[in-house]
A and B are shown apart, each in its own frame.
Chain A
Amino acid sequence: MCNSVLQVDVIIPTQTKYLDLIGSIGEHIAKDIENFSGDREALAYHLNLVLTEATTNAIKHANNDPKDTVRITIHIQDNELNIKVYDHGQGFDLESVPLPDFDQPRESGMGIFFIRTLMDSVTYTKQSDCNILEIIKYL
């Protein structure tokens, strides 16, 4: 499988009204990826969902500055789709996020579960000026 290089770089205010925009970008990308033989509709939904959840997470963890922003990059090269979401908040410990309890479901805590389940790799790194949630999906 050989896709041409695609790079999208978006910066949004930390407001949930932009989730639709970010999710839609993922959906459009999935529908346009070249030489993808899998279920394109499912990939479109999954990218929409993963970008929505990751951006929501960044907004939730943002600092209280109204001028704060979230940066989202999407990069596709060869068969790797790479998403990075940058936030400027306190950050969180990805490894301590538990799996949902399916027998006693709770109203929150399913976002990271979706990202982990639908994508191939998820990491969260804290840097001096920002935190980066990096998500990789092999196409």
Chain B
Amino acid sequence: MKLNLEKMNGYSVIFIQEERIDAHNSGELKDYILHLIEQGEVNIIIQLENVRFIDSSGLGALLSGYKNAIAKSGKLALACCKQQVISMFELTRLNRVFEIYADLKEALDNEA
């Protein structure tokens, strides 16, 4: 799983550098987020601009991160999702769970 991590306004922003999140790399993403939370980085934004495909295991990895962040009184929000990726959140009603922002600035403004 190719990704970059940047610290912005107290948030750990994970930039996913893959076009696809599926059962081949979602386990790695899940572990990465969990590791970050265990290190005390509980406020996380995941930037999904490059992601044009996500499957059920990818949604599961993000949900795992969300639940673990909340359990440590943190937050996990999403930014820059492509429409077809958003439609997967809508289909599973996970758009009611995650805050999904149009861009990173909006995410940082609203979550900070």
Q: Hey, which chain A residues are within 8 Å of B93, CB to CB? A: 102, 105
Q: Say whether A17 contacts B24, CB under 8 Å.
A: yes
The residues of A with any CB-CB pair to B shorter than 8 Å are 16-17, 19-20, 23, 41-42, 45, 48-49, 52-53, 56, 59, 100, 102, 105-111, 113-114, 117
CB of A49 to closest CB in B, whole Å: 6
A-B contact pairs, 16 of them (CB 8 A): A16-B22, A16-B23, A20-B24, A42-B87, A45-B84, A100-B92, A102-B93, A102-B96, A105-B92, A105-B94, A107-B67, A109-B56, A110-B56, A110-B60, A111-B55, A111-B56
Interface secondary structure of B, over-half rule = helix
Interface secondary structure of A, over-half rule = helix
The residues of B with any CB-CB pair to A shorter than 8 Å are 20, 22-24, 53, 55-57, 59-61, 63-64, 67, 84, 87-88, 91-94, 96-97
